[in-house]
Amino acid sequence: MSHNVTTICAACGKEGDNLKSCVACKLVKYCNRDCQVSHRRAHKKECKKRAAELYDEQLFKEPPPPEQCPICKLILPIDTEQSTFKSCCGKVICNGCCDVVKKEHNDQCPFCKVKIRSHEEEIKRLKELMDEGNADACFFLGSCYETGNMGLPQDHVKTLELWQQAGELGCAEAYYNLGNTYFLGYGVEVDKKKAKNYYELAAMNRNIKARSNLGSLEAQARNLDRSYKHITIAARAGDTESLKMIKQGFMFGVDITEEHYARTLQAYQTRQSAMKSNARDNAARARGQNVIPVEQDSVEESFNQAESITSTFRRLWEAN
């Protein structure tokens, strides 16, 4: 039976202007909780299907615009080790800008020009930022409890609590770290389902490393279409390993068109260029980090390589 969901209760058929939508699927409306409960068995299958579709729409849509360094205005690097959180002002600043200012002004913050002189002062400022709802401050303090930095005791329970809080405030890196914690069993029992859920929350908040991990997890489960979607989003956002997965035929169970590959490669090159500067490369070298050159192959050359390797892997897959 078809219902006009804008005016009719799906359970009792009464019309009304103040009906409440099913929270999970938004497909039907009810007079009250009693009507919703009475209709649950009839609606459960349709509701579950539509709720999954809505979730995937959120999961696979283009991620929000990336954050920028507040000084050089370039997109922050994907590798969070190449940026620094400043507890004085609550800003995340690329290491390139940090090093340029440090040469001239020692440990003065490149953004707010403040110099924090003690662990006690920094912890106090972190708590003030947390009271203001700063997600990065919450994540940073949780990470200090993880390692025992700034004179704090190592406290795994406190770490997870602060990372959870940071994630809920919008810190994707916190959700990513929680995913790693449950995937690898750091201080908790391994829980791959919970890890995947945290990776998805991180990916929906533009964490590219979590997106790449999801691509690998879905590939291992042979959900190749879902895996390819994740890897493509990550590659277009500038993730080198994800681009390699596509180029090397990691997704050999899914056809790759030249047009699709061209768009992916061009988006990757654009994003990588938007994250690079000489100052950032110098800062990475000074810390012993890899400096990744932007992929310079032409679309045709790269696609031909990918197509060749893809065919080889597909034959091996089918043979096994």
Indicate the domain borders of the chain.
1-56
Q: What is the 3-state secondary structure (H, E, C) of the chain?
A: CCCCCCCEECCCCCECCCCEECCCCCCCEECCHHHHHHHHHHHHHHHHHHHHHHHHHHHHCCCCCCCECCCCCCECCCCHHHEEEECCCCEEEEHHHHHHHHHHHCCCCCCCCCCCCCHHHHHHHHHHHHHCCCHHHHHHHHHHHHHCHHHCCCCHHHHHHHHHHHHHHCCHHHHHHHHHHHHHCCCCCCCHHHHHHHHHHHHHCCCHHHHHHHHHHHHHCCCHHHHHHHHHHHHHCCCHHHHHHHHCCCCCCCCCCHHHHHHHHHHHHHHHHHHCCHHHHHHHHHCCCCCCCCCCCCHHHHHHHHHHHHHHHHHHHHHC
| Reported pTM | 0.84
Q: Could you read off the pLDDT tens digit of each residue along the chain, which spans 320 residues?
A: 444 445 799 999 988 888 989 989 988 999 999 999 999 999 999 999 999 999 999 999 988 889 999 999 999 999 999 999 999 999 999 999 999 888 776 778 999 999 888 999 999 999 999 999 999 999 999 999 999 999 999 999 999 999 999 999 999 999 999 999 999 999 999 999 999 999 999 999 999 999 999 999 998 998 988 998 999 999 999 999 998 888 766 445 456 677 788 888 999 999 999 999 999 999 999 999 888 776 555 555 655 655 555 555 555 555 55
